[in-house]
Amino acid sequence: MSIWGILLAAAIVGAVGVLIGLFLGMAGIKFKVETDEKEEAILAALPGNNCGGCGFAGCAGLAAAIAKGEAPANACPVGGEPVGKAIGEILGVQVEAGQRKVAFVHCQGDCEKAKKDYEYTGAQDCRMMAFVPGGGPKACRHGCLGYGTCAKACPFDAIHIEKGIAVVDREKCRACGKCVAACPNHLISLIPYDAKAVVACRSTEKGPITMKACDTGCIGCGICAKNCPAGAVTVENFCAEIDQEKCVGCGVCAEKCPKKAIVRIEKV
């Protein structure tokens, strides 16, 4: 091939490249998606964990919702009050301090307190217990299965298995709700960080059945409800429940509980 042929080919390729570049440039201008500077600033202020604890599809989804006024400035459970205030400054609004929450496992049935029906050696996943006899080896059908599905779901390393049950590290927990969704027995809930007393049981069996399965299960006797001066404790389906908005933190319910199924929470 002659030098002129090479130059001609190079010129054609170059011209085609220029034309494609011009076309893409014009298309980019025509179909350009306008970005909201406020939304970008909000996204930068969010922690970027993309945990979904806010109810939106990651931090980008929450940032868009806040910018549109579809979510409050303090909607991020991970960022908490500092992030809420930072977003409030971006929006030019006053943000009230949100109530800090923390995950709590409503079970004390560890290896020492909970009875076992048999020894299990299969897959270490709580969700698999739905496919084994009796819903798992523990005699209590409502307690923590102890195979760490919640711990694996936690993006903050705030849950660990100790003596066969899940335990939450209150200071690491960011209340994202991943563990709540992961627990097949629905034993984990988000409670106020300042809660003083919580029922550590979710059994709905009658007293005699619960006592055979666990040494510290709620037997639905109602003594806690009868002695609560604030009317914060109720018993439904043989299990006590505390209304945290009514609870005054006196601790009477925990003191009176014959099975010690109600625990007092001490802040670190």
Query: Element (H or E) spanning 78, and its range?
Result: none
pTM comes to 0.78
Superfamily of domain 37-91: Electron transport complex subunit B, putative Fe-S cluster (1.10.15.40)
Which fold does the domain 100-193 belong to in CATH? Alpha-Beta Plaits (3.30.70)
| Structure-token pair, residue 204 | 């709905």
Nearest to 202 by CA among 143, 255, 256, 253: 143
pLDDT tens digits, 59-116? 888 888 888 888 888 888 888 888 888 888 888 888 877 778 999 999 999 999 999 9
What pLDDT score was predicted for residue 18?
Answer: 75
Q: Give the CA angle between residues 38, 41, 47 to the nearest 5°.
A: 135
The domains of the chain are located at 37-91, 100-193, 195-268
Tokens of 200: 């550590």
pLDDT band at 39 (very low <50, low <70, confident <90, very high): confident
pLDDT tens profile 176-227: 999 999 999 999 999 999 999 999 999 999 999 999 999 999 999 999 999 9
Residue positions counted in the chain: 268
DSSP SS3 for 190: strand
pLDDT, tens digit (0-9, with 9 covering 90-100), for 134-157: 999 999 999 999 999 999 999 999
Q: Name the CATH topology of 195-268.
A: Alpha-Beta Plaits (3.30.70)
Measuring CA to CA, which residue among 28, 58, 24 is closest to residue 42?
Answer: 58
The answer to whether the beta carbons of residues 155 and 49 sit under 8 Å apart is: yes
Q: Do domains 37-91 and 100-193 have the same CATH topology?
A: no
